[in-house]
Structure 1
Amino acid sequence: MKDHRGGWLRAMLLITFLSHQTAECAAKNGRAVVEHHPSSYWEQPFSQPYFDNTTKRETTTTVGQSAYLHCRVRNLGDRAVSWIRQRDLHILTVGILTYTNDQRFQSLHSDGSDEWTLKISSPQVRDSGIYECQVSTEPKISQAFNLSVVVSKAKINGNSELYIKSGSDINLTCIVLQTPEPPSFIYWYKGDNVINYSQRGGISVVTEKQTRTSRLLISKALPADSGNYTCAPSTAESASVLVHVLNGEHPAAMQHGNSSNSGAATRTLALLLLLLHAGSFAR
């Protein structure tokens, strides 16, 4: 039994040795050695490109703030990655080349990376929609990304016009609406100038980025503090309020009172004329 096993082992070693010798001879003589496989390499399931589904598929940005859509393709090989706008099937980029006249669209890719990023500079509301990351396999494979471009606005609580009695505090609260990320800063202006804290005492600003709010407090306001106050976030439309600091009575209240008295007098006069007219007909 041992002799049979030993003979089998020697035979296998000899076959292996002869195979290597044949391959070496063929290589020296310039002949290619063709290895036969049941199917080509690219037809193997493990070699096909596929998407990394851990990437973010929903993106929200504000008007004017660059948007980035990140598509990650594993095992790409020699295939090409394209970005296509779904609403009109317009090809935006192929590889790192831009295929549209709108130069706001750009494909970002680093050598050796699996990530192909579509950058949209200065996006507008009309740019909202579905974008497809497509790989040139047969059949083609694609992954959809949803972009929402919103208009971020600031809002100052209260009316657009504010009346303050001299000696009272000006207390303004600004809220930034519809912004996916907290603003990097929120400035307060009086007229065209940033509020100068050193100009007078009693001015404070408290900004909370996470809640997207900013509060302006001017204590013991004087008539000189009257003016147009503006809240201007870094990535949102600004909001303004007109502040009047008065020494006397609220002019709007006075006007309202006068108009009320005038209206009452007009109604009384009309009633008297109607009664007199009716009396003349009775006679």
Structure 2
Amino acid sequence: MLIHKSGKLFIQLILNIQNIILFTYTNNCLAKEYNSIDSINSLNEKDFPNEDYNNKPYFAEIMSNVTVQVGRPVKFQCVVENLGTRQVAWVRKDKHTLLALGKEVISKNSRIDVSNHTDKIFSLKLDPVREEDRGEYMCQINSSPVIDQSAFLRVTVPPYFVEDQTSSDTDVDENDSVSLRCTARGFPAPTIEWRREDKESIDALSPSSISSSSDNKNVRTVQGTFLNLSQVRRQHMGVYLCIASNGIPNSVSKRIFLGVKFPPLVWTPLQRVGSPLNGEVTLNCIVDAYPKPDCYWMKTSTRQIILDNSKYSTSITSNSFKYEVTLTIKNVDYQDFTSYSCVGKNVLSEASGTIVLFEIPRPSTQRAVINSITSPPSKEVTKNRKNYLGNTKNSLNSDSSDKEKLNFASFKTNSYKNDIPSEQITMQTEDGVTTTDDLTESMADSSSKELITSWSIGFLIVSHLMITFN
């Protein structure tokens, strides 16, 4: 009976020892809760017997909100007086996350670092800052009651385009409608502005609606995510700039090419072009088309395409949908006097324009000479001289006067468009060469003599009549 009672007492003693151990372990676990934000609020003054209760901790400065661009470092600073044996904790308040306690970083974030200068200035640094770091940060002291202060981190983000929500280069048929889109993000939210790269007005040449909200005609810029064009024409073709900005350097822009498809149109500034033999001449035509056309020259009669060689050379220069096509012909001969076709061809259609090349006399640099001969010009007379003297039908004879010969030479010269001034026309006789000036003077002297003789005869007749009547 006594043994039985002793056993019960022993068991009770063991249970009491277990309760004491469990109580101690529980207290230790509660003490470890200082590492969480909830345990900081549960601490009280009796846990710090060495604290000077007449000098409680306080914040000497107010934390300031910080604005920083994404990718750069940022630092929060907390200034505390009378901290004593207390500790400073850093908390992400909006997400209820403990970041650091004292000198230890709790969060598993390699970009976070904590430091302190003496026992008054405590810092929390993030480097580099990410967009998700935007929020409210708190500096907390585990006093009783707990005191804290917080500041807001504003992370700015330069504008950037969302590629899968932004238009790329676009082709559209003439007279159709098209909507160009630009989507940009950033912080603050960016604004979108449209303009033409060539600085021309938007919708300057057709009554389109160029805004998702209103009609904008002949404007330099358009605001909004969308640029809507209706009844587009070839004059709408070009590069449009989508510019996104939010006040954070730098603004960004995207080039979007709008192509307006239409069949070729060919026009020739000159439909007839003249050239002398053995000369060099250039033919020009303009081709309007999109998509880009194949442009070439060919002889109209044979439909033979002209390729570049020592005699022919071609060139093409373009500006938007306009193409200037040239053909240069060197050492022009009789076979080159024909018509040429300028051809423009794309996937939609084909068009051509025709230019006729004809012969013109080569301008003469020699003095025209008229021979006093009765027979037709000999075979040795040059071609140019034949132009001046004419053929055997119209040749001058020896009985013709000098004045008739001069007029005939001038007529022949002008009829062949040689444009030789009269002072350059000479008359060749057996006595030598007489210029037109000498001929004019001689004719003037002859006329004067005839006039004086006529007056003298008239005067004698009048005098004789007066004497007779008297």
TM-score normalised by L of structure 2: 0.26
Flag the structure with more relative contact order, 1 or 2, with Cα contacts below 8 A and sequence separation at least 6: 1
